[in-house]
Structure 1
């Protein structure tokens, strides 16, 4: 199974924010630079992650985006379920009329079961489990922040 670019960016944002010192606020522009993704894509991703309660933001000159406790404790399976909710594995999932074999087809059910098994495997992994402070420390230094306390840059 291949994740969408949207999910890829979302996971990068969560890992970056999780590796920074608690309470660190970053602008969406700095996040985009840090994760190597276009600003407009990161803006949409941050908005979705905020609506999921994984990030919070503060407006104003000293504002920015930070990871919530729920974001750090979120399990990867549930995050991806929500981010990938409308993504079809094969075309017939998206448009039943396009396949002449759709009547009585068992492929969609088999693929849905496989997708759920994929997510279930990731249910035991939290964002905190994936955070690599050493990695995040290098990124933090590259954008002018102090590295996390435990990062060996």
Structure 2
């Protein structure tokens, strides 16, 4: 299974926030530190905030930080929340896709099991386990 770049950035962002949970980060500062586009990071942070993983502050001294304890968030929580827009295969799309083999296909069940095993592996790893402190 391959995670989208959006999910990759989301995980990197959360791992970094978990490294300094009391710090308020700015989009500019974290984008520079992670070497990703500020605009892309802003979209990621907006989604993470909507999902409750990140808390945001407006105004002077504003920014964002981890929305809850790093021990209470698993990598599986994050991946499941950010990946629904990306179907593993066409027939996993909400509309079922347009695969002509769907009626007789024997591939969907093992792929669904493999995808669930992937997420279950991530379910046992918390953000606290992967927290990244400040760069050297």
Give TM-score, length-normalised by structure 1.
0.79
Aligned residue pairs, count: 135
| Bigger-Rg structure (1/2) | 1
Higher relative contact order (CA 8 A, sep 6+): 2
CA contact (8 A) 2:15 2:127 kept: yes
Three-state SS of the structure 2 residue aligned to 1:57 is: strand
CA contact (8 A) 1:25 1:66 kept: yes
Partner Cα distance (1:116, 1:36) in 2: 31
Partner Cα distance (2:100, 2:54) in 1: 44
Which blocks of at least 5 consecutive residues in structure 1 are unaligned? Answer: 139-152
Match of 1:68 in 2: 67
Which blocks of at least 5 consecutive residues in structure 2 are unaligned? Answer: none
Deviation at 1:122, TM superposition (A): 1.3
CA contact (8 A) 1:92 1:98 kept: yes
Query: Between Structure 1 and Structure 2, which shows a larger proportion of helix residues?
Result: 1
* Higher mean displacement: 115-124 or 65-74: 65-74
Give TM-score, length-normalised by structure 2.
0.88
Per-residue Cα deviation, 1:53-85 (whole angstroms, up to 9, x for no partner): 111011112111011234552011121111112
Matches within 5 A, 1:1-150: 1-20=1-20, 22-94=21-93, 96=96, 98-132=98-132, 136-138=133-135
